[in-house]
Amino acid sequence: LQAATYGLVAMDDDRHAVRYALGGEHGGAETDRIWTYEADADAIIRIRFAPDGTIERISCSSPAAEPDSCPELYGIGIGETEDAIGGHLGAPSDIRIVGDRKYIGYNSIGATYVLQKFVVTGLVRDPHRGSFSGKAWKFLRSLIYLPGSIG
């Protein structure tokens, strides 16, 4: 499995294509590596660009775990249960609990699911993902930071 797109953007899109698909209001400078969009009242999309200007990583989170607030990632969406992830994708490559969040990672497909209280609240698409180091986890947490959460 390799998803070439996530929502309205393709993983090899550049800043121009992202601006076209998601709009110009991204809460940062044009040259920033991370752009943040408020998809609606319940979802935040963060896009990280690689040095060559193409998308490196996409995350979408919904603090209220509102279903359909973010596009599904490999058949798993916001509001799904932890059991649904395992039932659909099998055993994960990585599991880590940090604070009140659980991160379930699938290296082979470049996907990470973020859960709170056994429910998916965040999705991360990163096709370049391998095993996580401490720095990678810190960066991942920064991508899905939610206002009012403990960073």
- Residues 89 and 111: their CA atoms lie apart, in Å, by 10
The label of the residue with tokens 């929502």 reads 7
- Please state, in angstroms and rounded to a whole number, the distance separating the CA atoms of residues 117 and 111: 20
Q: Are strands 111-116 and 43-49 parallel, antiparallel or unpaired?
A: unpaired
Averages of pLDDT over runs of 10 residues in the chain (151 residues) are 70 89 77 83 86 90 85 93 95 95 94 95 82 48 46 34
Q: Where are the beta strands (DSSP E) in the chain?
A: 5-6, 9-10, 34-40, 43-49, 55-61, 94-98, 101-106, 111-116, 119-125
Can you give the pLDDT at residue 77?
93
Alpha carbon distance, N-terminus to C-terminus of the chain? 32
The answer to whether the pTM exceeds 0.85 is no
Q: How many CA atoms lie within 13 A of 33 on its CB side?
A: 8
Would you state the pLDDT for residue 24?
78
- Residue type at 58 in one-letter notation: I
- Residue 109 CA neighbour count, 13 Å, CB half: 22
In the chain, how many H helices and how many E strands? 3, 9
DSSP state of 19: H
Q: What is the pLDDT of residue 12?
A: 85
Rounded to 5 degrees, φ, ψ at 82 are: -60, -40
Under 8 Å between Cβ of 103 and 85: no
